[in-house]
Structure 1
Amino acid sequence: MRIPDIATAARVLALGHYQPANVVSNDDLTKTMDTNDEWIQSRVGIKERRIAPPEESVEDMAAIAGGKALASSGLTPDDVDLVIVATCTLETQIPNAAAVVAHRLGIDSPGAFDVNAACAGFCYALATANAAVRSGGARNVLVIGAEKLSQWIDWTDRSTAVIFADGAGAAVVGPSETPGIGPVVWGSSGDKSDAIRIKDRDDYLRQEGQTVFRWATTALHPVALEACERAGVDPSELSAFVPHQANLRIIEAIARKLGADKAVIARDIVHAGNTSAASIPLALSRMLERGEVRSGGLALMLGFGAGLTYAGQVIEIP
């Protein structure tokens, strides 16, 4: 048996993102439900969100974000041999999104699979990509979080319609001489699985907001701290804290308990809404684009959501 060459470390080489053009403001939502801008902002912190048109699919958005990340990395499609798409909102389960996206991007015969850990999905996929590169299972990996939550929402239900949105974010992971992705801290709370659910293919996404809020604001900051500890990083050394963009109140509560006083806190939810598995790469890519963070700094990512699942890791910003 021959042991393949194994990379000692991996890192995120580049990021990319995509959002649909259609902006839906809080005032727009008042036309279909009993709500208003003040009520929405006070509870979830959202001012507007992006919603894809019916003809734009999860795969469409994933391919655009993935293509941008690949172009930014300086690699070619031939350099990629594994594609992972994190999503929980495909219209159908077969075929998977990853194989479709890889084909559209001209990536020939890669390993291709989807990950469904809902809003924690991108962090799960990134940890898997890190392990694949370090073990020699892949040279370079394209990791994408993409969601079209709008097709699973009851647009008359203000408990969900004001929160969720569409978009995609992507990262290219490749070998590195020094570690650029810290150990993942992941887990689940299956006893609370009913808190966020879709009963069947004829139902909409439902969530018990208070249950999720209490869980997120009490159970997750220890996960964030452990991710820092396992990476050998003090929270004071972080350049950015990029949690899942679930709710502005949740984001700010976790950030206070984390104590990352020097870090820029991602608040992409204000203008992008909750895009589930897309939210973390989308937020960090936009922060880089706006110049809010710099290449080489350390970012703590923390995904959490339906399952209930969670995952956190520290990365070096590409």
Structure 2
Amino acid sequence: MKNIEILGTGRAIPSKVVTNDDLAKIVETSDEWITTRTGIRQRYFCDENESADKLAIKAACKAIESSGLNAQDIGVCICATLSGDYATPSMACMVQRELGLRENIASFDINAACSGFLYGLEVARGMLNGSLEKYALVVGCEQLSRLLDMTDRSTCVLFGDGAGAAVVRLSEDAPYASTLGARGGYEILAEGPGKEPSHIKMQGQDVFKFATSIIPLCIKELEEKSGYSSGDVSKVICHQANERIIDFVVRRMKADPDRFYKNMDRYGNTSAASVPIALDELAESGQLSSGDLLMLVGFGGGLTWAGALIRYAGR
């Protein structure tokens, strides 16, 4: 079975910036309370003219452009989301239509919450290997602001909206390893459907314990499967849920903190979008070079987790 590597990335962020001080005006909280507990200083929410689908389409378009390919080259389109605009049509189908992807390719959504983008990479790898196609588009996109209870300060301060995308290609020689897992539980959940609006709820302490145990486990499995260590990679990109989670893991593993990328201060927790948004930030800022190895780690509702060691082959 051939491996995959990242050829291009893209992201799309809503226009409405919501600072901690903005939230303090509508719920009992403060910038100091949020920042010291999460590392989050602001996030972005969609306004009335923006939507999850629009963000996904924009991020996907940028990823294809940065890959040097065109829409007709894409052989699989996968969107990871738990907050799409519709149950059907899928977000992937809307991306396929708006970007003019071919009609004779698989286009569908998956829901693995905050691990969704990494689940999508592995699904894309399997589908490319089972076909004559060479390139896949994988998008992580969320409009979580529609699922927030703005009276619940334990959750409404954490989440934001956004989209990230990557184009991957099959490769004969690219280093690659993955790990996927799930443990059914209600520590994080979006209620509904029902008569009342659906809201994200979270048991914070349980999530912290889960995340700080599963990240080292994912990294260890990737090291064992690939033969590379976390010290061999250019960056470790974890799901951007909480700065304290990543800092705890770094201390526990006695790892180099400079290898662990963090951007939750600007975006908050964007669930399936957080890893690809971070990927695109690194690529756009010139912090990634073609040939760099990356470790990607996701964890979230379900409970789910996923990891990938993958090569960046962008320009």
TM-score range, shorter chain: over 0.9
Q: Distance in 2 between matches of 1:102 and 1:255?
A: 39
Residue number among 143, 147, 164 corresponding to 2:159 in the alignment: 164
Partner SS state of residue 154, structure 1: coil
Determine if contact 2:85/2:91 at 8 Å carries over to the other structure. Answer: no
* Residue in 1 that maps onto 2:149: 154
The reply to whether residue 232 of structure 1 matches residue 227 of structure 2 is yes
**In the TM superposition, what whole-angstrom CA distance separates every residue of 1:205-245 from its partner, at most 9, and x where no partner exists?**
11111110111112331122111221221121111010000
Partner SS state of residue 9, structure 2: strand
Aligned residues: 309
* Residue in 2 that maps onto 1:64: 58
* Residue in 1 that maps onto 2:187: 195
CA shift for structure 1 position 108:
1.8
Determine if contact 2:75/2:128 at 8 Å carries over to the other structure. Answer: no
Partner SS state of residue 15, structure 1: strand
Question: Match for 2:102: what amino acid?
Answer: D
* Residue in 2 that maps onto 1:306: 301
Determine if contact 2:214/2:305 at 8 Å carries over to the other structure. Answer: no
Partner SS state of residue 220, structure 1: helix
Question: Match for 2:180: what amino acid?
Answer: W
TM-score when scaled to structure 2? 0.94
Distance 1:96 1:253, change over 3 A: same
TM-score when scaled to structure 1? 0.93
* Residue in 2 that maps onto 1:292: 287
The reply to whether residue 50 of structure 1 matches residue 66 of structure 2 is no
* Residue in 1 that maps onto 2:26: 32
Partner SS state of residue 310, structure 2: strand
* Residue in 2 that maps onto 1:117: 112
Give structure 2 stretches of 5+ with no counterpart.
Answer: none
Determine if contact 2:177/2:310 at 8 Å carries over to the other structure. Answer: no
Q: Distance in 1 between matches of 2:132 and 2:204?
A: 40
Residue number among 14, 35, 40 corresponding to 1:20 in the alignment: 14
Give structure 1 stretches of 5+ with no counterpart.
Answer: 1-6
The reply to whether residue 207 of structure 1 matches residue 199 of structure 2 is no
The reply to whether residue 138 of structure 1 matches residue 128 of structure 2 is no
Partner SS state of residue 66, structure 1: helix
**In the TM superposition, what whole-angstrom CA distance separates every residue of 1:157-190 from its partner, at most 9, and x where no partner exists?**
111111000000000011223125x221111111
CA shift for structure 1 position 249:
0.6
Aligned-residue identity in percent:
39
CA shift for structure 1 position 76:
1.0
Partner SS state of residue 146, structure 1: strand
CA shift for structure 1 position 284:
1.4
Distance 1:121 1:137, change over 3 A: farther
Distance 1:262 1:92, change over 3 A: closer
Q: Distance in 2 between matches of 1:103 and 1:258?
A: 45
* Residue in 2 that maps onto 1:88: 82
